[in-house]
Amino acid sequence: MTFHEQIQEGIPSVLPQPKPYDPEINHAPKRKEILSAEEKKLALRNALRYFEPHHHVELIKEFSEELENYGRIYMYRLRPDYKMYARPIYEYPGKSEQAKAIMLMIQNNLDYAVAQHPHELITYGGNGAVFQNWAQYRLTMKYLSEMTDEQTLVMYSGHPMGLFPSHKDAPRVVVTNGMMIPNYSKPDDWEKFNALGVTQYGQMTAGSYMYIGPQGIVHGTTITVLNAGRKISKNGEGLEGKLFVTSGLGGMSGAQPKAGNIAGCITVCAEVNPKAVHTRHSQGWVDEVITNIDALVQRVVKAKAGKEVVSIAYQGNVVDIWERFDAEGIYVDLGSDQSSLHNPWAGGYYPTGLSFEEANTMMAEQPELFREKVKDTLRRHAAAVNRHTAKGTYFFDYGNAFLLEASRAGADIMADDGINFKYPSYVQDIMGPMCFDYGFGPFRWVCASGSPEDLAKTDAIALRLLEEMAKTAPAEIKQQMEDNIRWIKGAQENRLVVGSQARILYADAEGRIKIAEAFNKAIANGEIGYVILGRDHHDVSGTDSPYRETSNIYDGSSFTADMAIHNVIGDSFRGATWVSIHNGGGVGWGEVINGGFGMVLDGSTDASRRLQSMLFWDVNNGIARRSWARNDEAIFAIKRAMEAEPLLKVTLPNKVDDALLN
């Protein structure tokens, strides 16, 4: 069968032969036993409903074994035979160019070079899934190949509910992931309902088809490291010779060593999974790999003496680094952590004293013991960090729920008031006031042609516009503009592409609209092919997350989710090609509501109209909320937006004299 025929086939009428489990692939850990005997029967009923009854006898034993062996029914047998990667848009079958673009993005999320656990349809974060099983993937791709621009595909947590009549300005796809009744959003609820096959954890950009490999976070990580360096610098010195210690090389966290190199420091990043270490090293995202702690100590001493710019992956546990560097007197300038602590009991964080294999076995077979060992390691981790910060280390929470889970484990991590943490979230200290409040966030685009030449042309267009805007930018955002220009100038030489020909750039509403409009004109003139716009959910407006994206909201509303819900509703009727809203994000199931969008630029006047309407709202919705929280930077930004757009009228806060309250 041709590629087109396989896509259009959907769930095959003649079942493919079972596929052997490939040990060379990085697989998701076995999930813990969570279902009762009756619930296991329900999970099988739910899985088998994708297939004609005459297939049930053949499949029920296989699916039962998957549930027993892996804790989930992935339907490995249905994994396609064709290579999984983002093909040029014209290679996809279909009646809608917008739908073809979405197929491209789905396949990019599952590309072996991009996805963390590709056979389990997990893109990053240990559990960030595009689909729950391969039947859902096949059926979704079939629907996309059939749909017209007068239909909308409805996605319920990976399940394609079906095509519904709509109109050309409606989203082609509407995605929800993990949208639970509030009282059913505890970690074990995810384990149970995901095992039943009725919901999934879409992470941020996994289940919304907008992940672009580790580049997706490397720009934000670079900005964070640069500004963390500025906070500790004396007399304007840079990061030369300074040491940044962190952990995590899977998925999003794999961006850290590359960002450290761009920022100009020494980066030591721990990772317990050998396959993740190999992947990032082979892709050029980390310079060196060290497996022995003694050798690591010697190498770091040498790097500090030589003021090298180098990234080192330590294959082992980050707690061992913090404790050993403390004992050796190695000064750590910057410290953080980016293991997947939103998922602490199912592979997001590993305890010390166990091999990777031993930990995975204990996780599945002795979950309570594993939980206790994780908690003990978190207490040791926090204690070691505390010893370093007492010497002057600047430590920040990287929004991965490290401080939250450490506090729940009883670690010494709380401030004197017993309410706040000892250490700030990077959003509180850096990204919130410096970027989000001004409207700067992770705007991204993908060249649907798959052409590196198109990507280079879009980089050049973006650079030209940024340099023009920088000439008249107000003083409050000069630094952000300069950082963006530095980033885009080095984008090609830093070899950031993994998977699709994509780019990320922190931009405000003005920048996003001007860049998108210039792309659309270039498409209309035949200079480049179609461009797919999107953003990380980790942005100005898309996410309500009290321990990360909205951690610098101090009016008491950081635990509300009105902004994220309004964002996705507003994007959907202002012209987004697809929209998504998720429970969970990067901080944890039940801890955050986050949403995103995708938009296809085809050079048309319709695309120009949509991009101006949608991108303006997508950013200024969040600035308005942040200004109402009395954030000075956001008040400045929303006033500037109202001056630029007379139809925008936002309620501004009145500040209260503290003396009246005291």
Detail the residues annotated as belonging to a binding site for NAD(+).
Answer: 125-126, 203, 271, 398, 586
Structure-token pair, residue 28: 């998701």
Residue 273: CA atoms inside 13 Å, Cβ hemisphere, count? 27
Q: Mapping DSSP to helix (H, G, I), strand (E, B) and coil, where does residue 391 land? A: coil
Residue 585's H or E segment, with its range, is none
Classify each residue of 333-357 as buried b or exposed e, where b means 16 or more C-beta atoms within 10 Å of its C-beta. bbbbbbbbbbbbbbbbbbbbebebe
**What angle separates helix 37-48 from helix 56-70, to the nearest 10 degrees?**
130
Q: First-to-last CA distance in the chain?
A: 76
Binding residues: 125-126, 203, 271, 398, 586
User: Running DSSP on this structure, what letter comes out for residue 429?
Assistant: I
With tokens 């997990």, the residue in question is 122
Residue 624 in contact with residue 599, Cβ under 8 Å? no
3-state helix vs strand vs coil in the chain, percent to 5 = 45, 15, 40
Residue 14's H or E segment, with its range, is none
Q: Give 296-320 as a DSSP string.
A: HHHHHHHHHHTT--EEEEEES-HHH
Query: What is the spatial distance between Cα 288 and Cα 25, in angstroms, rounded to a whole number?
Result: 22
Query: What is the spatial distance between Cα 128 and Cα 417, in angstroms, rounded to a whole number?
Result: 35
Q: Give 149-218 as a DSSP string.
A: TTEEEEEETTEEEEEEE--TTS-SEEEEE----GGG-SHHHHHHHHHHTS----TTTTTTT---STHHHH
With tokens 């990085």, the residue in question is 26
Q: Mapping DSSP to helix (H, G, I), strand (E, B) and coil, where does residue 248 land? A: coil
Phi, psi of 416 (to 5 degrees): -60, -25
